[in-house]
Structure formats: structure tokens, C-alpha cells
Structure 1
């Protein structure tokens, strides 16, 4: 607080600037309104069941694709996509105020709510109606964008089954034509119970075989699609997945990545012939050979992709699905072959029946199979359309746009808090900066200086008349006077000075003179502060008209006063007038000590000249007032003028001790 008090002007200016800037920012800030809305994603799973006739039924779970890991993040990305916001910006009334899309995008905020399917929208605007309009435009553009993405996704999914669907439809139509023509030509109707039983068994087996073939074809088709997506054959995919799951291979790849990263850093600093670069190149070659060895060991002559990642976002999931589909297709084909064997055995027995009846049943069987395959493919196409809704659902508006009753900015309370923080932090920084330029004097700064006398004077509450001053600090000044009386002073003259004003040199001069009088000496107090005349004004002798005669203040204590002057005071000292005056006073009264109170060294040029006349200097400093640089500069000036700093007085030291008076009848309690 003391340091801050010394820089109160700078702090006042700083805080005035902070307050002015805060007021200006608040008065010039435009209000910002926000509109909030909530969107909800409906349940995306479906229960699609399709009857395949003799082949059974098609369940939704049989061809279930992997769902999105976090659909809310996908919807958030769509909402904040550049393509969507560009459409909203085109219809914005203030679109000319935004330099780029990123600046406009800052007005929109999307927040997915955890453990729910709700998206919260927050849109800002300079007016409540504008914020509401932007929210409505964003929701409309978002729903239109979902329709576009859903339609495109559905087309992409369906194009893989268009050819198979056309072929199945042609086979069904062909089978229906054959059986119609056969019945019309022969007029055969199967009514034989025994034959019907055999045929039923054959049909059941044929149906199972057809169902197995249908599922096998579906699995094979899915394996083919996945193979096209990952652009790898099944054998290569198996070897690549095996290689990616090899822990040693992964460790070598990781080490190779680290070496290559270090190599890039070193090549940016050193040349290629540098030892560290050559070492890293050798390590990279070794690691690459190890990777090649792993690839050769695992893959053999089959091409593999060593970059397959095993996380859920990589192609490893697609490879696993491809292998699963291939395994299911092989198993289903094997089951179809076993059923074929059973059908062949039953057909041998059926051949003993009338040929036309068997031919009719065969045609009916072919019709049933063709119809079942066709219905299965239709169900798959419908399922892919449902999958498109899984990725891009028909998002509903849970809460319509609602504008806040008050603008969110500017906030006076928040700006006041910021201004307070700026004031506190700025004030501390300013005080530290100013203090670092010229800090206060500390005990450490005086350790290198050696003084014959060092005395501490407590803080004085009474600085008026000499009697009160003596009672207040009687013990300390008498110790100082005793120490000075033991020093061999030249001409018994002593100069009392300080670095700057306010350090208490005049008080010390008065107290020291009074203590020397108590010790039995005759003392002359000289006011050598020709500009301020602080000593003369302090003792009430500012109206004297003479400069050559001293004035008696009390027994054995005289004062040589002066008047505040203007002009070239240095010439007075250089011409010897000041020294002649001192010699005249000494000759007339024969003083034991002459105590000279001068102006501060840093403020005038005459004090060093006086120190050249009165070489013994008593220097006064005050804690929390004296500056380190000013004190050091004063010491340097006095030394340059051949002065001897006899003692140091630390003035204004805080103390809790009670003074002990040596004067009879003096009060020992501070008022």
C-alpha cells in the first residue's frame, strides 16, 4: 500500500482509462438476441418382415447393417456444414455484413444433449425477429438437406440389387408362363395322395435348398459389395487383417512412424550427412525391412494392405463382415448341396410316377422358387430404403424457435467484473513496473556501504517544537550525539543531508543539535537549504533580515537562518560567502559543533559544493520513502566532491518500545 500510494497519479490515470474504456464499450456495443429451438431424432430401427412364400420369411435382423456409433454427432455435422449454412446465408437479410462464411457460422451453436436424441439450437441476431428468422431458415434448410441425403443414399444402396431384381423378375415370369402353358396343354391336376406326399417332401427339401441358395446368394452378394468397397479380394483381406492384428507388426509400424517423425525434424535442422540423420536413416531402413519380412511371412505371394486399422472406424470392420458373409455363403451352399442330394434320391423314386405329373410338379416347384427369390430381393430393396432413414432420419421439431426476453449482450455486470479485474491486475502490473524502474531502498542495498555510525530513529509523532522532539526521541538522538562526539570531525562541522525530500533530514538535524546541547556542547544550527529554508521555517525564524548573525534559540543552541532565494545560488557558495559566514559565526561564539542542514542532494547542485566545504556528512534515509537509485546517485556525487559519509541515520523506524526520558519531569508517554 505504501508503494502504491507513491504512484497514485499513475494508478489514477490507469483506472480512469479502464473506466472510460468500459463505459465506451458498453455504450457502443450493439445488443445481441438469441433464439433457442430443439430438434429430436425419431427411433430409426424398423420391423420389416416380408413373406417369401415357400422360402419362408425375411426378417429385418437378417440383413442388419452396423448402426452409426453416434448419430447426434452426424446430425450436428450436417447442421453446421458449409453447404447448409451457405443456403441460410443467401436468404439472410444481413448477409452483406459478413465477410466470410466462418464469421456467419459463429452465430449458430448446436449442442447435442447427452443420453437422449435431442439437438439444441442457439442462434444469435441483432434483433429478436432476425434471430427467429435465422432459426427457422436453418431448420427448413436442414430438413431439405436430409431429404437430399436420404434420397441419394437410397439410390446408392439400391443400385447394387437392380440387376439381380430384374433377373429374378424375368425368371418368375418365365416360370409362370411355362406352368400355364403346360396345364393348358395337358390338363393335369395332382390329386394322388401318395404322389402328393412325396412331392410335398421334395418341395420341402427344394424349398430349404432354395432358401439356402437365396441366403447364400445374398451373403455372396454382400461379400462382393464389401469387397468392392474395400477394394480387396477375400484372400488379401484375410491376410491384411491378420497382419494388422499382429502385435509385433503394429509395434514395428509405430516405431517406424516415430523414427520418420524424428527424421523429418532432424532433416529440417541438419544436412543428410549429419550423424543423427544417418542414424535415423539406418533405423528407418531396418524397420522397413522388418515390416517387409512380416508382410512376406504373413501374405506370401498374395497382395496385402498393411495399413488396415483395427479400430471400429477403420476397414477392419468391413473385412470382418466380408469374411463373415463369405463363411455364411459357403455354409449355405454346402447345405444346399446336401439338400440336393436328398432331392435327387427322392426324384429317382418320383420318376416312377407319370412323367407329366412329375413335370407339372417340377414346373410348380420352379415357380415357387422363382417367386420366393423375387420376394426376397424386393424385401432387400425395401430394407435398404429403411437403412437410408437410419442414417438420415426425418428429424422433428421438438420445441419451436423461442426468442429470449432479454439480449444476451452487452452484460453490464460481466463488463464491470472485467473492468475490475483489469483495474486490479493493471494496477499491480503498473506498480511493479514503476517500482522496478526506481525501487525503494532496502537493507540489502546498504550492505556494501561501510559507515562509522549507523543509528535508527523511531517514527516521530511530534515534529513541532524542539522540546517535544527531544522527549520523543531523546534516547536515540543522544546515542547518535555520543557517537558523533567520539569522531574526530574536521573543524567540528557536520553536514546533514538526504537524497530526496521527506526523508527527515531537518528533524534529524534539530534532534542531533538538541542532544549535543544536552551533552554539554555549544551548537550552531545552520540552514543551508537556500531554496526552501525548511529549518528556518520549522523553528519560526523566517523574518530575519541578516545572514551574518546567529540567533539564540535556547542556551548553547543558536540558529543561522536563511530566506528562500531564487537565482544562481551556486555562485554564492563558490565565491566563499557561505564559508565566510560560518567562519564569522565561529569566531564570535566559539561553537563546539556546527550542524548544517542542506537541501537534498538529488534536487540541487549546491549541496555537493557545500559537502566540499564541510566534508563530514551525516546521511539520512527513511524506509518506504527513500529510493535506491536516488540514494546511490547521492553517494556517488558526495564521493566525487571529496565528502566523507560519516554516518547513516535510518529515520522513521516503527517501534513499540516506550521512551525513557533523561530530563527531569518529562513525560514518558507518547500522546
Structure 2
């Protein structure tokens, strides 16, 4: 019935014309409402016309519907039934089509796998033949064994009587020997593993392998010489004394010690061969860690330069933990920190101290609150440039480069840097890290300190590790 009514409404030209007029009136009403208010005569006229059209369309729909109910024939009902059956059939066919599409996709996938399966089948054919042949041989062997067993079994014969073992007592001598051999192997293995895990530089050759730096000189370990039973290499005033005791006796005797003097002369000569005297008027001595002997090497290098008729100034650039004033027994009320904090108020000549060996020394001075700020100020560069006109060589003793930034700030104002590495104290990684930090500066070479085997015929001498002396020693004041 609803299908018949919908058909009559669609076939009625009057109803369709009214529908078109209603849609047109709605569009005009929307346009006018955007331009005028709802009380506008134009809007009110359009609304009235739309109401009339909708009323006329309702009357036409009622007429057509009543007519459809009255004129519905058996043919219309048959067509509606056929339409419903056709819709149901269409849905069934659509479902079946989906199932067929899915089956087709699965078959296509299997067809794509078919060449691979055929290839695997061909490759398994020889293996199948081998397995079948082996199975046939095993079946034949089983049949033969069954026949032999049915005949009465195998004819086993005893060829030789078993020999019984004799008890033996343990050999203590053999066990002891095996224990010694096993212990030796285990000890060697543990020593080898320890050597692999140990990153410490043990020899001068290892120190040279860590970098391409020029080795300026080698100094042996002082403890080995001071503990020598013969003591033939030590002067009488140094025999049986520790490093700290030597420091307290003063530096004049240490600087006159022939082996020490020879080693420093050799190192100073190597430096002059690498860099011309006019270009290298200031040099920084630093190390990766504390306790590597850099302060003593700085003092020895200054002494060698003085003996070569050079005007030398030794500067203590360690503003955090200064040590040169204790080593040389000098007052430390004024020094480098004083000049940097008050460049105009202090005169350089009043702060520089003279020593017995002819070395001019500029101590560190009072410990400032921020050493890095002072060392990075332009005042330090101006001070070094001023002192280069008054001295042939300026040696700046700085703190370890891996501990603070002070060493880098001080080294940046000098024309060369020397890295001190103590054998059996610094590690490979620490030495390489120090070189990497100083790579941007003029790193001219390295000094190996504390080597255990150094022949004195090669003019090498002991460098005492007295730059890290007791911190609780009182400063000497004027």
C-alpha cells in the first residue's frame, strides 16, 4: 500500500510542482531573513505564501492517497509483492557474492603458493629416496637378525679373562707437583687479567704510545734511589731523607745535585731545539692529576735556564692550593692574585721575589674567592705580555688540567704548554683526556716522571715529587 501511494505521488505533476514551489519559497525566505528582520513585510509575505503552498500540497496528497486506496487493484498488489521478493533475492545474491569473493581470494593465495610448494616437493624427492633406501636396509637387517635369533642366537666366546685392578695409594709428591703447576698457571692467568684491566701507565714506552707528543725527557722515581742500599747516586746531604724532608732543607742543595741538574738541562735543551727562543718566551707546566711532580720540574727547568744565562721568572699559577712559596720559603702576602685583583695599585717589581739560585719568583698570593675569574681576565694576558719584555723565559706552574679550568685559562696566555705524566700514577685515559683538553693550545711536548729504570749514563736524573708537600705546613711571612 505504501509503495502504491509513493508511486502515485511521484507520478502526480501537480504534487511535484507544488513541491518545487515550496522548495523555491523556502530558499527565498532564507535569503530574505538574512537581509531583513522577521517583522519585515517581505518576510511576512513569503511566510504566508509558503503556508499556502504547504496547505495546497497537503490537500493534493490527501486526494492522491484516498484515490490510491480506492483504486488499488490486484495488479498493483502483485507488483508490490514482486518488488519485495526482488529486494530479498538481491540481498541474498549480495551475501553470496561476498562469500564467493572471499573464496576467490583464498584460492588466489593458494595458487601463488603452488610454485613454492612444487619446488619444495622436487627438492624433497632425493631425500625421500635416500630415506626409503635406508628404511629398506634396516628392514632387511631386522629380518636377518630375526632369522639368526630363531636359529639359536649368536655364538659368543670368551677370548680373555678380565683383569682385576690393584689398589694404589695416593702420591703426595705427584699431587704437590701438580698443585704447584696449577698454581703457577692460575697465578699467570690472574696476573694477565689484572694487567688487562689495569689502565695505569707503567712504562715510558706506554706513555709515548698514548700520543704523538715529543718526549722532552725522562726522570726516574726518587723513592727507588733514596731507598738504594749503596746510595752512590745521592749526595751526602740527601742520603736517607724523604721527599718532604728534602723540601724543608731548602731548594738550593737540590738544584746543585748533579743528576737532577743534568736531567733538567737535557729537557731545557730539547725545548729550545723544538721552539726558537724568540717564539717561546712563556711556557705553562701542567699535569693531568696532582702528585705528578710538575712544580719540581718547573723549578728545575727554571734553574737550568738560569745557568744558561737566561733571565727567568717562575710564576705560581695555582691560586687554589699554591705550593711554590712553601717550597722556596718565600712570603705569600702578595703575589699573582694581588696583581690581578688590583693591577693599578700594585707594582710588579715589588711583588716579585729573588732566590739564591738567581730565579725570580712570583708567588700565587692570597687565595681569591674566584680564581677562574681572575685567570680569565684580560689583566693576566697584559701581565704576561709585559713580563715577556723583561724576561727571556716565563714558567707558569698551574694546577692539574683535569681538576679545574684554571690551568686552561692560564695556559691560554702562554706561548707553549708542557704536560707532565708520572709513571705508575696517571692512567692512559686520564693522560689522553688531558691531551685532548690541551689540543687547541700549543702543546709542545711531554715529560715522563717517575720511571723506575733510567740509566744515569743517559744523563737522566730523579725529580722529587715535592710539589704536593704537606698542606698543613705554615706559610712563611715577611
Q: TM-score, normalization: structure 2?
A: 0.49
Question: Of the two structures, which has the highest relative contact order with CA contacts closer than 8 Å and spacing of 6 or more?
Answer: 2
Q: TM-score, normalization: structure 1?
A: 0.36
